[in-house]
Structure 1
Amino acid sequence: MEVKRLGAIDAEHYWNLRLEALQKNPEAFITTYDEAMQRQKPIETAAERLSDDSAFTYGAYDSQQLLGVVTFIPGKHKKFGHKGEIFAMYVSPAARGKGVGRALIQACIDQAKSSSIEQIQLSVVSTNKPAKLLYEAMGFEAYGLEKKAIKLGKEHYLDEDMMVLFLDEIS
């Protein structure tokens, strides 16, 4: 397995995995599959986003197969420049439990350590126990709960745990 920062050349693989993520784990993402399918030129848009220097999207490849992705965004404003945030973490079901998620999160941690980032924040659906266990094993701790953070359907809500990793507290 190779973890690398994705670029425009990876846009088609990224887009296909993104669609898989939206279908298999719709509760974990803000965008719905239907919304994604309505986008004009989605691969070109993905290529532009992957080329953006203000965000770091990492992918885990096994040969030519993209197994998982994660995006790390450093704080853009002066008062938040010491923070970074993890978004859109997804590992294909066949690759789960094999260290892919850990390797992707480690890539974000390494990126943060190479800059002035002091803490990494993320949110995770409260019922996603495997993801929460991974984040806790890597040093993240819960600091809050957002009730009814995600609305699925007319009356079904999901809570999200807010988690943080203080980089000066890990080796």
Structure 2
Amino acid sequence: MGDIETRQLTVEDAEECAELRKEALLVSQEHFAVTYEEEVVEGDFIAVVQQRLLWRNSVTIGGFYNGALAGTAMLLRKPLQKMQHKADIEGMYVAEEFREKGIGKSIMNAILAQAKIWEVEQLHLSVVKDNTAAKSFYQSVGFQPYGVEKAALKYRGTYWDEEFMVLFLKE
């Protein structure tokens, strides 16, 4: 078993984060709402990632395996006062060669710790309905499905349903 480290990513991690994000959007494009082409539309993909790492109401967590960035996820807090008890998990991805090593669980634990600091009561996410591995993972940490949007995503003539999930941190 390798060494796993989890921490908040900063702009200094942007290049490595951009490489992993590119892989996610190209290898698992059916699992993300955004396409790689959309994210590079302004020509400087690393700058896009740097900007995202600086967003005020978000934290991007990186999971490292033997020093290499193996996975990421963003916790995005709702900015409106009446919704600040909720946050979304966005863009979770673990590179294929690092799956089944505990990286996802480590990232999720760091997300949960940050949610506690922010006093978040509900975590929300969406997952492509036929992504059974991701759904199984989310359910293993306590997320429950609460709805499905049919044909939520469409790309090059193919449709995907999205399933919405929630984890109540405070009952």
Normalised-by-shorter TM-score class: over 0.9
**1:59/1:104 contact within 8 Å kept:** yes
- Using the aligned pairs only, state the percent identity: 38
The 8 Å contact of residues 153 and 159 in structure 2, kept in 1 or not, is answered as yes
Provide the secondary structure at the position in 1 that maps to 2:170.
helix
Distance 1:48-1:33 versus aligned 2 partners, 3 A rule: closer
Counterpart of 1:144 (choices 131, 147, 157) is 147
TM-score by length of 1: 0.93
User: Counterpart of 2:14?
Assistant: 11
Partner of 2:165: 163
The normalised TM-score by structure 2 is 0.93
> Following the alignment from structure 2 to structure 1, what is the Cα–Cα distance between the partners of residues 107 and 95?
13
Q: Which runs of 5 or more residues in structure 1 are unaligned?
A: none
Amino acid corresponding to residue 53 of structure 2 in structure 1: L
AA partner of residue 86 (structure 2): K
The size of the alignment, in residue pairs, is 168
Task: List per-residue Cα deviations over 1:29-84 (Å, max 9, x = no partner).
Answer: 12212333433222123122212332110011124411000000011101111100
Structure 2: gaps spanning 5 or more residues? none
Moved more, 32-41 or 5-14: 32-41
Partner of 2:33: 30
Aligned CA distance change for structure 1 residues 75 and 35 (closer, same or farther; 3 Å): closer
The alignment status of 1:83 with 2:86, answered yes or no, reads yes
Give the CA deviation at 1:117. Answer: 0.8
1:62 maps to which of 65, 80, 83: 65
- RMSD (CA atoms): 1.3
Q: Deviations over 1:135-158 (max 9, x none)?
A: 11101000001110111212x211
